[in-house]
Amino acid sequence: DQQVKQNSPSLSVQEGRISILNCDYTNSMFDYFLWYKKYPAEGPTFLISISSIKDKNEDGRFTVFLNKSAKHLSLHIVPSQPGDSAVYFCAASGSARQLTFGSGTQLTVLP
Amino acid sequence: EAGVTQSPTHLIKTRGQQATLRCSPISGHTSVYWYQQALGLGLQFLLWYDEGEERNRGNFPPRFSGRQFPNYSSELNVNALELEDSALYLCASSLEVGGEQYFGPGTRLTVT
């Protein structure tokens, strides 16, 4: 049973445009959400996080939105750059403070 | 500040053998996590160690085991290797329980 789902395995976006990566979760006990970026042959790198008490968190070009009623979060990257091309994982944790990861979305930013 | 390090980078084993993977967390981090990323799949949680104790394990058979040493480094052992154990094994550490996890580059295990 996948508690964290990323339904789009891949996404292609033109450089300078907005990239929107989506993530859905089923466990209502999750209260902390994170996004990681992974380049080939490297470990995932932490990008941005959001607590369930917020609905938006911004860090430079990256913004994460949380819709608790829909159990949905999204990562917006504006403007997208070729260096953003990577696999993006969303992750969630609850009281156990153990991360559950989605299956990832391959983002390709076209120059 | 040095990041999470893992060794070896690559490991090739034969079915039935044992594999040992090592991880050194960021200095000051006491929690260490192990994940498996099989080809085409997301990160599957394996084990979590904190202050030398196993805190939780994922849905993996008992032949996946590990330990955490007094210096907070950790070892993952996989016994009786099977072909489907071929994967990238990632180690992560965090400063506090539930905090952001920082990942190492991984160990690519190939079982032939």
Report DSSP state, residue B30.
-
pLDDT in tens, A25-78: 999 999 999 999 999 878 899 999 999 999 999 999 999 999 999 999 999 999
Interchain contact, B105 vs A43, CB within 8 Å: yes
pLDDT in tens, B16-57: 999 999 999 999 999 999 999 988 778 899 999 999 999 999
Mutate to test the interface with B, among A4, A88, A101, A106 (most CBs of B within 10 A): A101
Residue of B nearest to A101 (CA): B43
CA B21 – CA B49 distance, rounded (Å): 15
CA B88 – CA B45 distance, rounded (Å): 12
Residue B85's SS3 state is helix
A57 inside 8 A of chain B by CB? no
Residue the block writes with tokens 């996890």: B101
Token pair listed for B112: 């032939």
Contact between B46 and B19 (Cβ < 8 Å): no
Token pair listed for B98: 């539930």
User: Of B41, B101, B105, which has the smallest distance from its Cβ to A99's Cβ?
Assistant: B101
pLDDT surpassing 80 at residue B95: yes
Beta bridge partners of A77: A19, A62
> Cis omega before residue B8 (within 30°)?
yes
> So what's the pLDDT on residue B48?
93
> So what's the pLDDT on residue A2?
78
- Chain A environment of B104 (Cβ under 8 Å): 43
A98 inside 8 A of chain B by CB? yes
Residue of B nearest to A102 (CA): B42
